[in-house]
Structure 1
């Protein structure tokens, strides 16, 4: 299947969990994929992922870039490396997946918790997208997918800050759909995963000491990264060109 053949995609936080699943899904559909990661401990995983992308798409079709979107200069640096690697100015798909979470009750919140999560999940996302926008504008079918969370609307215990950052993402998704759709033909969507088994999810809950969210009502299981990746793969295709400004809940029926 090659519905994304010739497309260039960037997936932030793309080496682990949902981001890794999305990167592989895009590659399976023919896209060249750049992923970002932060920690030195992810370098081996990043190299392994690039090899998988090259096997799926062809030689020199993947690149992993160490970058922290909390650094507002990271977007420009990433874009320069992507353009050099793939030899073209255009970026067709941006997946804003990088994020962080820390669950804590209101009475235990600190200013540091707030600044960290809003700095990455909202401020970092906004300015990274701004940096990539000139390349997206050159695409005839630009796609932006923002990874949000069911915590934006579920009232999840301990998600005062995390849920607020994701609600912000849902809001800016609608704003960008209007701004960028009318002027440049770029579609913008948010994907709200339900509880998905990832390293970040498990670590955040373990540190918080709060209970694991219940299984979705319809699926009777927690999600896997592939459940989210397959939906994202559909949303970035040409067939979704009139679908924009929406928040897509992918949660196994967690009503």
Structure 2
């Protein structure tokens, strides 16, 4: 998608109401941005003034990602760029950074800075221990763990040097709940938690680095989980303070399903709200943390 012109933060860039938007002029990369949590995060960041690079993987997601990019431009007057790249391919993350640099570098000075990185893209396949294969292990760890590492390596030369950068890694309650069938997926998210803490130290003069750990969210990924897995989650959901269904507030389908699954799921915009806060100046004193974004399903990390 084309951009109307390169801009950094400026006091002249304000909302119609007159207040500066908190992320005005910032440039954000969101992987896995075509739908679900990734798309909701992009909407949140764009509403706050950030221009967004939307990463996606498959050809079938091209149209929906193009539509999202246009929506962000039209509603928020920000620049957008969609980039198709496989985070499971060793060349995919570098392709995102190189394409973004070619598109967003300042036309005169050549300056290019990445202010926000959201490592959201992930894959999952729940299997009992006896059915785990090397191919399944390699697929999940390559996309969920190696992909973010390679993206961060490619982005390092372009991160700020004044602690203003923001990196948010999407983890999961699966990293600590020990859910049946998640030998591999849970392990990838535990790796994300550990990487978050390491990067917070290594990149302290460049950016804050935090993770958020959603529980069940009303997305395609959770909707594709088995009935047995959702039954396994029932007691966890029932104990979560904010996952109690609310008749007349939550959509009817989630109220109707609550007896079977334990309560209502999280909504993608609720996860995005936590991410958006961490990306603002209000999140400047928080780094190396796994921030709970799961309605209280998991209090500690």
| Coarse TM-score class (shorter-chain normalised) | over 0.9
Q: For residues 110 and 30 of structure 1, what CA distance do their matches in structure 2 show?
A: 44
Query: Do 2:159 and 2:206's aligned partners in 1 also have CA atoms closer than 8 Å?
Result: no
5+ residue gaps, structure 2: 1-14, 16-20, 107-111, 245-263
Correspondence for 2:223: 202
Larger radius of gyration: 2
Structure 1 runs (4+) greater than 6 angstroms displaced: none
Query: Do 1:92 and 1:139's aligned partners in 2 also have CA atoms closer than 8 Å?
Result: no
Q: For residues 117 and 149 of structure 1, what CA distance do their matches in structure 2 show?
A: 14
Is residue 79 of structure 2 the alignment partner of residue 36 of structure 1? Answer: no
Structure with a larger share of its residues in helix: 1
SS for the counterpart of 1:143 is strand
Q: CA deviation at 1:77?
A: 1.7
Is residue 26 of structure 2 the alignment partner of residue 7 of structure 1? Answer: yes
Q: CA deviation at 1:186?
A: 1.0
Correspondence for 1:49: 68
Correspondence for 2:77: 58
SS for the counterpart of 1:210 is helix
**In structure 2, which of residues 129, 132, 145 is the aligned counterpart of residue 109 of structure 1?**
132
Q: RMSD across aligned C-alpha pairs, in angstroms?
A: 1.6
Correspondence for 2:120: 97
Correspondence for 2:201: 178
Call closer, same or farther: CA 1:39–1:139 in 2, change over 3 Å. farther
Q: CA deviation at 1:15?
A: 0.9
Correspondence for 1:167: 190
**In structure 1, which of residues 42, 66, 69 is the aligned counterpart of residue 87 of structure 2?**
69
Q: For residues 48 and 128 of structure 1, what CA distance do their matches in structure 2 show?
A: 25
5+ residue gaps, structure 1: none
> What CA deviation, in whole Å up to 9, does each residue of 1:159-182 have, x standing for no partner?
11100000000001000000100x
Q: Provide TM-score, normalisation by structure 1.
A: 0.93
Q: CA deviation at 1:185?
A: 3.1
For these two proteins, the number of residue pairs brought into alignment is 250
Q: Provide TM-score, normalisation by structure 2.
A: 0.79
Query: Do 1:67 and 1:78's aligned partners in 2 also have CA atoms closer than 8 Å?
Result: yes
